[in-house]
Structure 1
């Protein structure tokens, strides 16, 4: 399976919605949990969160992974994954949850954050999130980021991590993409960075 990752723009919003689906946590959240907080993310206003996500997509804050069409026709490529990334200062709730033991400017505009991955059912365990994690480096660079940060899970050997917990990605995907561990707020969570 060949995977191509492309930056989002207004024309790719429907592809993002295809990946998020119409039911389950990704469809409800619309990648707003780390922006709004978990209480607001669970409010019944899914349409409002969808419009907030549309604005972020128009700004180019994200990536879509596609399963390549065998004929080489980009229009026929199947959207299979989504990754949200933006300036860290845009994620108010994130700055509350990953900060224990850290001393730096939470609103530093040069620091971007990777917060969420969604892979469509039927396409999981095929390297979609790994391809997205690798592509975050170039996208943040094109937006002028000085540093890119992520908050992946570190599954214990032999232990399963539920899909919902892995929405932040696996540590190994980021390490393979050249990130380094800078903070470990818990046994299962790491903060990783890529400095330009």
Structure 2
């Protein structure tokens, strides 16, 4: 690849566009499948946030990750990622999405919802890198820490905790 800056930008921009197109196709396929996969937050008719949510069994990478091993045999739902448009951050959208995920899971018979946010003790990162949320965000939405940062994580991995909201037990 040419080391020229314009060529590098063009290369990475094209990769992002291809990735975004693939992500959109995958999301449309999930919606059409009827399987639960998440919720969208709107401001009027404008989408401003998204939270991925569904049964843990529907997320094999969550089951096999060193960061997110099972705590027990409870058939929890998980919220592995979330996103709020920059213009709508710090307005309570994340809290609303996290609470809505609990309501969504409850209506489908889930006993609890888990997330794996960045630890409060971790160094601050750019908001774009916090796609799995922060411990404080989950706590504000009524989730409780059920496991701290795993000490055996490979060097450089994001220090994440496990937070759980029991259905019917979240603070409003």
Match of 1:4 in 2: none
1:90 equivalenced with 2:54 (yes/no) = no
Please list every run of 5 or more consecutive structure 2 residues that lacks an aligned counterpart in the other structure: 1-12, 152-158, 168-172
CA RMSD of aligned residues (A): 2.9
Return the TM-score normalized by structure 1.
0.62
Match of 1:32 in 2: none
Bigger Cα Rg: 2
CA displacement 1:58-96 (0-9 Å, x = unmatched):
43421111124xxxxxxxx32111111011111111212
Match of 1:166 in 2: 130
In structure 1, distance between residues paired with 2:128 and 2:150: 18
The 5 A counterparts of 1:33-182 are 47-58=21-32, 59=34, 60-68=36-44, 77-97=45-65, 98-99=67-68, 102=70, 104-105=72-73, 110-156=75-121, 159-182=123-146
What's the secondary structure of 1:154's corresponding residue?
Answer: coil
Return the TM-score normalized by structure 2.
0.69
Please list every run of 5 or more consecutive structure 1 residues that lacks an aligned counterpart in the other structure: 1-22, 29-43, 69-76
